[in-house]
């Protein structure tokens, strides 16, 4: 999963650089979107004609199982956390350039460099978190990352000049392992039977959170200013940190149960 997201981070890093080149060269931002449409169309065509080489047994989905997972307290809390947690990450990804341009006076081409470096940190952080999660639990790693995201976001909004851009870059590092960690934690809490539904619903809530928070913060920022509008991100992250810290012990217990079962199973196989 972390290697998969490295490709996402690489593409995200190159995108702002390509747009920056077109802006500096006088071609306009429209050309970068036209090229993006062409590339995504070609990728879509590839998946349309390609075969996986494997055949999977069709499993008829059960609506009852999919709905039943929502009744699990820990999973429901994860949905809420992911809604707001991923929502803040979408806000950062979409609005870093706007904030640096309007609130810090950077030109768009220069501000896009910070967005590219944000994705560099996102990719590097995925590799680092993939290693660290072997040393600790997903729950503790996510808690640490949420704390760092709150700190870096606060410093980015209230610092000035280049310092603001640097702290925005570091939010990419703090954001890196949150979503993969949430996916892993969800699969542990809900179990294999409804894993597909639970992961799909988690991702859906994250996407909806991104759209809702971006819409709200951009509209609020028009009324009260970018800095005050962005301060809502700090309040949201503060709430997420409080909620996750309350649930942390329960999440760790769930992970320990799975680790204990795996350990017992390995002993049984060794015998």
Stretch 148-168: mean pLDDT: 95
- Show the domain range for 222: 2-270
Q: How confident is the model at residue 26 (pLDDT cuts 50, 70, 90)?
A: confident
Separation CA 157–CA 110 (nearest Å): 18
The per-residue pLDDT for range 48-71, each reduced to its tens digit, is 776 655 555 555 555 666 666 777
d(CA 108, CA 247): 41
> Which of 233, 254, 231 shows the shortest CA–CA distance to 77?
254
Specify the pLDDT at position 255: 84
Only one residue has tokens 């950062």, namely 92
DSSP string, the chain: -HHHHHHHHHHHHHHHHHHHHHHHHTS-HHHHHHHHHHHHHHHHHHHHH---S---------HHHHHHGGG-HHHHHHHHHHHHHHHHHHHHHHHHHHHHHHTT---HHHHHHHHHHHHHHHHHHHHHHHHHTTTS-HHHHHHHHHHHHHHHHHHHHHS-HHHHHHHHHHHHHHHTTHHHHHHHHHHHHH-STTHHHHHHHHHHHHHHHHHHHHHHHHHHHHHH-HHHHHHHHHHHHHHHHHHHHHHHHHHHHHHHHHHHHHHHHHHHHH-
Per-residue pLDDT reduced to its tens digit, 98-126: 999 999 999 888 888 898 899 889 888 88
Lowest-confidence segment of 43-47, 131-135, 184-188, 258-262 by average pLDDT: 258-262
CATH number reported for the structural domain that contains residue 203 in this entry = 1.20.1250.20
The structure tokens 């709905």 sit at 67
- Predicted local distance difference test score (pLDDT) of residue 243: 95
Cβ(185)–Cβ(255) below 8 Å = yes
The token pair at 138 is 């997903």
Give the per-residue pLDDT at 259: 58
The least confident of 9-18, 129-138, 195-204, 228-237 is: 9-18
For the record, the structure tokens of 222 come out as: 């028009």
pLDDT-derived band of residue 231, with 50, 70 and 90 as boundaries?
A: very high
Number of structural domains (the chain) is 1
Alpha-carbon distance values, 171 to 174, 175, 216 (Å): 5, 6, 20
The pLDDT, as a whole number, for residue 269 is 43
pLDDT at 135 (0 to 100): 82
């Amino acid at each position: 999963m972390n290697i998969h997201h490295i490709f996402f981070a690489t593409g995200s890093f190159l995108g702002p650089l390509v747009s920056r080149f077109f802006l500096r060269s006088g071609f306009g931002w429209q050309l970068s979107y036209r090229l993006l449409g062409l590339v995504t169309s070609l990728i879509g065509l590839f998946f349309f004609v390609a075969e996986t080489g494997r055949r999977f047994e069709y499993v008829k989905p059960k609506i009852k199982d999919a709905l039943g997972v929502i009744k699990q307290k820990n999973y429901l809390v994860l949905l809420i956390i992911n809604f707001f947690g991923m929502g803040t990450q979408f806000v950062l990804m979409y609005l870093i350039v706007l904030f640096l341009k309007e609130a810090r006076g950077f030109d768009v081409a220069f501000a896009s460099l910070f967005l590219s470096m944000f994705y560099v940190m996102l990719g590097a952080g995925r590799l680092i978190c993939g290693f660290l999660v072997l040393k600790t639990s997903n729950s503790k790693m996510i808690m640490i990352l949420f704390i760092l995201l709150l700190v870096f976001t606060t410093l980015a909004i209230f610092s000035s000049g280049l310092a603001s851009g640097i702290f925005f870059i570091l939010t990419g590092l703090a954001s890196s392992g949150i979503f993969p960690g949430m996916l892993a934690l969800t699969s542990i809490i809900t179990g294999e039977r409804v894993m597909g539904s639970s992961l799909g619903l988690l991702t859906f809530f994250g996407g909806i959170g991104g759209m809702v928070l971006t819409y709200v913060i951009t509209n609020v920022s028009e009324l009260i200013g970018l800095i005050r509008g962005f301060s809502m991100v700090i309040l949201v992250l503060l709430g997420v940190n409080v909620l996750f810290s309350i649930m942390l012990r329960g999440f760790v217990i769930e992970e320990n149960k799975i680790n204990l079962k795996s350990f017992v199973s390995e002993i049984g196989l060794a015998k």
